[in-house]
Structure 1
Amino acid sequence: MTSLKLGKVERARHRKPENMADTLLGPSLCKVSFNCPFPLHRKLSPAESPTASPSTMASPCTSLSFQLNNPPQPSLIVFSGGTAFNGVVEELKKLTTRVAHVLPVSDDGGSTAEIVRVLGGPAVGDIRSRCLRLADESTSEALAVRRLLGHRLPLEANDAKSEWYSIVEGEHLLWKGVSKPYRETIRSFLAYFQHQILVRSEEKFCFSNGSIGNFFFAGARIFFQSLDAAIFLFSRVSDIPTESLVLPVISTNDRLTLGCELWDGSIIRGQNEISHPTSGLVGPVNKGHPSIPALPSRIKRVFYMSSEGRNSLHEVFPMANPTFLDQLHSVDCIVYAMGSLFTSICPSLVLIGIGEIISSRSCPKILLLNGTRDRETSGFSASCFVMAITDALNRTYGDPTNCLKNIPGQYINTILVPRDGEIPVDLDVLAAWGISNVITVDSVHDPKVGIMFDPRTLIQALAKLLSPVQEYKC
């Protein structure tokens, strides 16, 4: 497995390295943009092999026949956050791997918050979470790498710090099954992350509940000074299919803060404070838990603000990731996934240019309705979800010179609803907006989260919407 994956690392041993990245990845990767046309460790097919004989290479007729019998996979763009949609990613792979996962970079909770506090930069937790879900699991080494990068340190601070040193020094059992080239690559960026927090001695870093994947990601981002480069590296290490894209909605090296304006005129700063304030507690949070206080008023809009800003006067207008915009122009289907409506979905919709592109497309535009309410959507019906998305894409309550006037039906034409979900579906309101295709999908009950889509039947429903004859392997 590793001879093809990281052969450049082995060759780099026999010459004097120019820098750390040159040593780890080879000079060609360090001096080109991170748009590799194939995985570094993808196995060549017989037809691609330099030693393939004419008899093993496909003829044009054979190739055409293969294409007719195997139509190209549909392409999707999915707006989501870091957790809710993760549960259906594995099932979605059976339908298509041509998926652009668009994720916000404004999360300020958990170990991501600690990284941003000490090292600055955009939040990487949601991106790391999706990358791990897309990671290869076909070999024992792939599983070992996924297990390592998915590991979280203990909650108790001293235990967490002790385990971290065991990992970064290469002594932890998590390294079992990880070959030397992989080990050296991953450890180098973990060590670089450790160095970065040490040189900022004025800020003591807390390792409690820290994600090893987040630390690796942060080390790579700081070293390359590029979020895109860090995603590329993580994707190659995790062996994510090249046609599966994990795209930050904003490609930046700067810290971004999410704000929201309530209908009572008050402003809340920070994604965590909007979604599920935890009073500084570290660890997993159930966003629908009764202990999380209700908002004093419904959310009117979300917006980006400067890292030190406290009110709407400090609003900033970052540019959308150009790669994301390119994908939005060409995909076969647009999906607004279930999840935190205002802090996971809307932050990717409020940027200039998004509403313009989506309203111009004639493809399926599908909302996956939540099965339960949370702090952000208390008292919401299905039409409230639709209007929140419409207002975000229209930028209704932002700068009046940049507002659109599109109707909801230009942004959403289909809604998938989990059976027995607690969000009422007001069909008459939706129909008046041009949304009449409302489909009920089987659900499952999670004791911690509540009603959720059954992943298998959800992807079956998507397959039928994309093409009546689209093959879906159950």
Structure 2
Amino acid sequence: MMEICVLGGLVHYKPPSPSPSSLHPHFLSKPNHHNSTTSSSLMSSSVSAECLSSSSTTVEPPSLLVFSGGTGFNGVVEELKKLTTRVAHVLPVSDDGGSTAEIVRVLGGPAVGDIRSRCLRLSDESTSEALAVRRLLGHRLPLDPHEAKKDWYDIVEGNHSLWDEVSRPYRETIGAFLVYFQNEILRRPNERFCFSNGSIGNFFFAGARIFFQSLDAAIFLFSRVSEIPCDSFVLPVISTNDRLTLGCELQDGTIIRGQNEISHPSSGTMQTVDKV
């Protein structure tokens, strides 16, 4: 159970302290779902080893608990992390715009774009490899559908220049889940996936979520690969594997569904929201 209390005007948060195995029972191995390369690369990777040794090191709980949207708060995050990394970020999983919308349309599940965006903002920038991983997971495919598909296949096949400064453990781990994401798309031949302006980080995140069948495990993996500080937490407002649709009712009784439609209504007339 998590504990939240208010001290001195700040929200103090005491999170649970999961290990990879307690967070998800088959984090380190999952038979009949993937080849052994994924498991071995996860276990052999040097990604944030100190974060995994929680039994010998006590991590102080975050001092701040932040409820926010995705991109709108990112500018504040850049300044906040200069002051402290002991922050728990709680984000929505209902965004249905951009690259996220296409993933949700074809593969279902919760929207991961806001969480991916926050993890990248918190990610390590201290080494050339950390920057290379950040560039890869922050990369967006071209707007032109044909160019986007070509760029995507170059990345999946390991031929893209974005891989140049990424070491083998990271390459195998990230690449395995990108391939898994691609295979999930191919299993749905009736749904044509549009890669235009697609986010590589979103694809990696979605592949991990589907593989583990756990949003929490996908966040854990993404956090470790992007090397966010051990005392920072990125949490979904609700942990679910199902699609979440935000809706609101206007004062005239009109019902609008979808976060993107609520934020950017297609109708020229703005009505006051009565309830969400």
Q: TM-score range by the shorter chain?
A: 0.7 to 0.9
CA contact (8 A) 1:259 1:267 kept: yes
Match of 1:199 among 184, 187, 196: 187
CA distance in 1, matches of 2:259, 2:195: 21
1: CA distance, partners of 2:182 / 2:62: 42
Partner of 1:25: 42
Q: How does 1:189-228 map to 2 (within 5 A)?
A: 189-228=177-216
Give the TM-score normalised by the residue count of structure 2: 0.81
Q: Which amino acid aligns with 1:185?
A: T
Q: Who is 1:185 aligned against? A: 173
2:152 is the alignment partner of 1:143: no
Q: 1:251 aligns with which of 233, 239, 251?
A: 239
Partner residue of 1:235? 223
Q: After TM superposition, list the pairs within 5 Å mapping 1:41-120 onto structure 2.
A: 75-120=63-108
Report the Cα distance in structure 2 between the residues aligned to 1:270 and 1:20, rounded to whole angstroms: 38
Instruction: Give the letter aligned to residue 293 of structure 1.
Output: G
Runs of at least 5 residues in structure 1 that lack an aligned partner in the other structure: 1-11, 30-37, 50-71, 279-291, 303-474
Name the larger-Rg structure.
1
1:356-413: CA deviation from partner (whole Å, max 9, x where unpaired): xxxxxxxxxxxxxxxxxxxxxxxxxxxxxxxxxxxxxxxxxxxxxxxxxxxxxxxxxx
Judge conservation of contact 1:149–1:212 (CA < 8 Å) in 2.
yes
CA distance in 2, matches of 1:234, 1:74: 19
Distance 1:269 1:95, change over 3 A: same
Q: 1:73 to 1:127 in 2, by over 3 A?
A: closer
Report the CA distance between 1:23 and its aligned residue: 2.5
Query: What code does the residue aligned with 1:204 have?
Result: R
Q: Does 1:128 align with 2:116?
A: yes
Q: 1:161 aligns with which of 140, 146, 149?
A: 149
Provide the C-alpha distance between the structure 2 equivalents of 1:249 and 1:115, rounded to a whole number of angstroms. 19
Residue 201 of structure 1: SS of its match in structure 2?
coil
Are the structure 2 counterparts of residues 74 and 108 from structure 1 closer, same or farther at C-alpha, using a change threshold of 3 Å?
Answer: closer
Does 2:162 align with 1:174?
yes
User: 2:76 and 2:87 mapped to 1: Cα distance?
Assistant: 13
1:301 aligned partner = 275
Distance 2:35 2:137 in 1: 27
Q: Is the 8 A contact 1:132 1:146 kept in 2?
A: yes
Unpaired segments ≥5 residues, structure 2 = 1-28
Q: With structure 1 as the length reference, what TM-score do the two structures score?
A: 0.48
**How far is 1:85 from its partner?**
0.8
Deviations 1:308-346 (A, max 9, x none): xxxxxxxxxxxxxxxxxxxxxxxxxxxxxxxxxxxxxxx
Structure 2 equivalent of residue 423 of structure 1: none
Aligned equivalents of 1:74, 1:85: Cα separation in 2: 18
The alpha-carbon deviation at position 41 of structure 1 amounts to 5.3
Matches of 1:151 and 1:226, distance apart in 2: 24
In the TM superposition, residue 213 of structure 1 has moved relative to its aligned partner by: 0.1
Q: SS state of the match for residue 49, structure 2?
A: coil
Task: Give the AA of the match of 2:42.
Answer: L
Amino acid at match of 1:300: D
Map residues 270-289 of structure 1 onto 2, 5 A cutoff.
270-277=258-265
Q: 1:181 to 1:163 in 2, by over 3 A?
A: same
Deviation at 1:21, TM superposition (A): 4.4
RMSD after superposition: 2.6
Please report how far the alpha carbon of residue 40 of structure 1 lies from its aligned counterpart in structure 2 after TM superposition: 2.4
State the 1:43 CA deviation: 11
Question: How many correspondences in the alignment?
Answer: 239
Runs of 4 or more above 4 Å deviation: 17-21, 41-44
Contact 1:101 1:247 in 2 (8 A): yes
The residue identity in structure 2 corresponding to 1:274 is I
